Structure 1
């Protein structure tokens, strides 16, 4: 009973902080550095005003016992993607802190969804069983399934439209779910009924998240969480299916109340918890003094467009103009600042290719403070109606000097190839080539091209130039093939 009372008191304060983060966070500053083609480093600093001065926190703070200078809280730090993250380090008020476990985090998130349902007037539609299902949905780790889906995407393509085969991906997810159910696998008729509820829930998600990961996000596809939910609650298929139906009813009722901002907040939070973790730490913070929260981590750099599989693939744009994408929270403080830069001196940003999109990656998000240069992309926003989460796109390109060298070599290779074809085929036999002529055309272009190809030591520069490099290597290969062909057919004489 004491533990339940303490949990309730901590939840009241935590949920008050999550309801209005701008009331107690002065500013949040996030710095993203593209370190390599595989990893990016992020550093997030949050400046917090004295909690005793925040009017919205007076009542929940009064319920928590503590001394006159500090208080123990479950502090919401940030939202992180459900992906592999390395070197996660957090500090609160200068002291190192550690995130709560995945299971405990999911239970807090489930209780927060219940809190939002009460705020939206839907408290009758949520009970303890549904809260347990929500906890299992939010605790689901999609990384293993995501890897299996990626492997399937590399194999199955629809040749006619050059798009990924949805049928093949559905088969991967179905096989994964069947293995998780094991002996508890439902009958086909019941599974079809559950899939209809999952399809309804997924159908209402289009305005809040990108559809790319709808099969592997448990918020959009709650069937992924059903095996563990049944194992933990020991419910039979009929009762478990009724809980899933209650979830569909809750989401449907919330959707019917739009554009009520409380219902919109409930839906947005629910769907975002399917592919993002909310980081919580239990720590002691000063009550009457401002303090700072810092979070640093490294995560994978994504050069794939979030909605890429829904449209025809643009091979040339994706390879000649690679763009890194980064998902960030951008309304969790009074003002939010974001800075993106590249550490490699051979790589620069393309100012016109840096922008921000909404969470569903459909609408561009303007900002009153955007600044774009070759060295960095910076934006800030203080408006109360700004998007909670945004996608930041940062297009990268070789520096002007190296870009000029690459295109110069490509032009040189094209010129050499044209000259060989002209002299060896068009002008023959009026003009006869000898080995010295061919060597004068081949060797300078080949050696210069080879030096450019092996000049880079960083994976980011190699990623940026790989399309141009591939084009150059193809030209050199064709150039040598033409030269060898001319030798073979006797149109190049050996010697003088």
Structure 2
């Protein structure tokens, strides 16, 4: 036990992984409440802050530290939540009362998750399954990130077996051939089907358990030969067939999600709060939903309603030129719309939405879709500006003289004023909602400028030709370049230019 910076003593239990495994095994036992706050202020991303109220069970800690009392500080590896596989952007992690709080490195997390699978299956790490080499594939599934594979496909512009062979040849540094890839894919196909079926919910098509060979470059220890890979995959398939459905579901879950594991200090048996802030894209769902939820004014986020004993979701819109419209759509992972009584309470204003959920029957993950729209005055102002600009176009086209054409330039004042109005500083959310109307207005103004420019150019060229045709001779007194404008009009020379 040590004291940090002169503060109260801290018991270091971060190396007692069995304590962490028990927390991973029953997270709702100690996660009392989760509040997810979604702030919309950008055209492409939203800021999501997840606040967890936790209470570390005293009895659980006393299993490894019998003298522990309520309020004592312990340093542990805490499974705060789970997230879809991908990069956490702009992370802001805050521990309790200023204590240190850090995310585990990727390879540390992959090893911990692989050992947790072995622990659930009652096989101590380093014994049964280690000798079977099955945990190499378990580690690879936990460590796998689809972004690297997607980048490889984007560079080669195809997703054929030959592409997979090149990917594995580079990742494993072995002479992987097309026949090897086909053999491995056929070998793991039955195990992939068992794992996908154990999820009980739609599985991400990019999941590692759907494409087990894609995980191979992420193994903890690089294989020496191609035969070693075949042996690992064969033993992994035997393992999947031998374990129970719960263990399979955990392996399948790690194929498309990973735990947000933090190394932190928390008090025992005392309510405390930990915050995790990240940036996410507007549409942040793993399984594609109907296209209408991907409309420009619709934001869709996967939220963790069942991640704790009770959940609270808040959506904040910081742009006063837009508003939240209609009831939100809350859909579970099977695509069913969720409503009362599973949602306990719903409160909505123009710029804030709150959803409250409590109870053990709350789904772990839901897709929340919220529709945004410009406020009515701004919406109609943009429409009127666009219509006014469109109405001025026929007048510019119909002007039949240079004088009318010159005067028609005044019609540009209205659309240009509208363009200046829309160019004012605005939040990213408003810019996203205005894209279609702004595009229509900009296109109309550009068309008016093009027509006006063409007509003025033609008018100048035609007037020049007419003047040249009617000017028979130059003025007799034209003695400098300033007199070139003096011409004979209709055969008559103006009196002031006649020679005496």
TM-score in same-fold range (> 0.5): yes
Partner of 2:471: none
Q: CA deviation at 1:301?
A: 1.9
Q: Aligned Cα RMSD in Å?
A: 3.9
- The question of 1:62 aligning with 2:63 is answered yes
From the superposition, tell whether residues 286 and 60 of structure 1 become closer, same or farther in structure 2 (CA, over 3 Å): closer
Distance 1:9 1:307 in 2: 36
* Correspondent of 1:185 among 171, 175, 180: 175
Matched with 1:238 is 227
Q: Residues 196 and 341 (structure 1 numbering): CA distance in 2 closer, same or farther, change over 3 Å?
A: farther
Shift of 1:32: 1.8
2:183 aligned counterpart, secondary structure:
helix
Distance 1:379 1:125 in 2: 44
Write the distance in 2 (CA, Å) between the matches of 1:147 and 1:347. 36
More helix by share: 1
Residue 393 (structure 2) aligns with? 417
Matching residue of 2:472: none
- 1:89-238 equivalences under 5 Å are 89-92=93-96, 94-117=98-121, 129-147=133-151, 167-168=158-159, 175-182=166-173, 184-197=174-187, 199-200=189-190, 205=196, 208=201, 211=204, 214=206, 217-229=207-219, 232=221, 234=223, 236-238=225-227
Q: 2:48 aligns with which of 32, 42, 67?
A: 42
1:450 CA displacement: 1.8
Please say if residues 210 and 359 of structure 1, whose CA atoms lie closer than 8 Å, have aligned partners that are also in contact.
no
* Deviation at residue 443 of structure 1 after TM alignment: 2.6
Residue equivalent to 1:15: 21
Structure 1 residue 464 and structure 2 residue 433: aligned?
A: yes
- Post-superposition offset of 1:334: 0.8
Residue 148 of structure 1: how far off its partner (Å): 5.1
CA deviations over 1:341-380 (Å, ceiling 9, x no partner): 122333333334x3233346x3333333333332122222
Partner of 2:7: none
Largest Rg, 1 or 2: 2
> What is the aligned partner in structure 1 of residue 38 from structure 2?
32
Deviations 1:277-296 (A, max 9, x none): 312234443334x2313223
Q: What is residue 407 of structure 1 aligned with on the other side? A: 383
CA spacing shift, 1:459–1:16, aligned 2, 3 Å:
same
Aligned to 1:232, the other structure's residue is in SS state coil
- Work out whether residues 80 and 261 of structure 2, in 8 Å CA contact, stay in contact via their aligned partners in 1: yes
Secondary structure of the structure 2 residue equivalent to 1:33: strand
Q: Distance in 2 between matches of 1:252 and 1:401?
A: 63
Q: Does residue 257 of structure 2 align to residue 276 of structure 1?
A: yes
CA–CA distance in structure 2, aligned partners of residues 219 and 7 of structure 1: 33
Specify the alignment match of 1:347 in structure 2.
322
Aligned residue number for residue 475 of structure 1: 444
1:374 match:
350
Verify the 8 A CA contact 1:357 1:363 in the aligned structure 2: yes
Counterpart secondary structure, 1:356: strand
The residue that corresponds to 2:466 in the other structure is none
Deviation at 1:179, TM superposition (A): 1.7
Residue segments in structure 2 that go unaligned for 5+ positions in a row: 1-11, 464-500
C-alpha spacing 1:151/1:132, structure 2 compared with 1 (3 Å): closer
Structure 1: tracts of 5 or more residues without a match? 1-5, 53-57, 157-166, 258-262
TM-score if structure 1 supplies the norm length? 0.74
* Contact 1:351/1:372 (<8 A) preserved: no
Aligned partner of 2:307 among 321, 327, 332: 332
Distance 1:488 1:174 in 2: 62
Greater relative contact order, per chain length (Cα 8 Å cut-off, separation 6+): 1
Q: Are residue 293 (structure 1) and residue 273 (structure 2) matched?
A: yes
In the TM superposition, residue 471 of structure 1 has moved relative to its aligned partner by: 2.0
Number of the residue aligned with 1:442: 412
| Equivalent residue, structure 2, for 1:364 | 337
Distance 1:459 1:484 in 2: 34
Counterpart position of 1:159: none
- Residues 480, 318 of structure 1: alpha-carbon distance in 2 compared, 3 angstrom cutoff: farther
- SS at structure 1 position matched to 2:359: coil
Say which SS state the counterpart of residue 363 (structure 1) adopts. Answer: coil
Against the structure 1 CA distance between its residues 42 and 305, is the aligned structure 2 distance closer, same or farther, given a 3 Å change threshold?
A: closer
Return the offset for 1:488: 6.2
Q: Is the 8 A contact 2:93 2:275 kept in 1?
A: yes
- Aligned partners of 1:208 and 1:268 also within 8 Å: no
SS in 2 for 1:434: helix
Aligned equivalents of 1:18, 1:89: Cα separation in 2: 20
Aligned to 1:160: none
Per the TM alignment, residue 96 of structure 1 is displaced from its structure 2 partner at its CA by 2.6
Contact 1:138 1:219 in 2 (8 A): no
Partners of 1:237 and 1:65 lie apart in 2 by: 49
Q: How many equivalent pairs are there?
A: 440
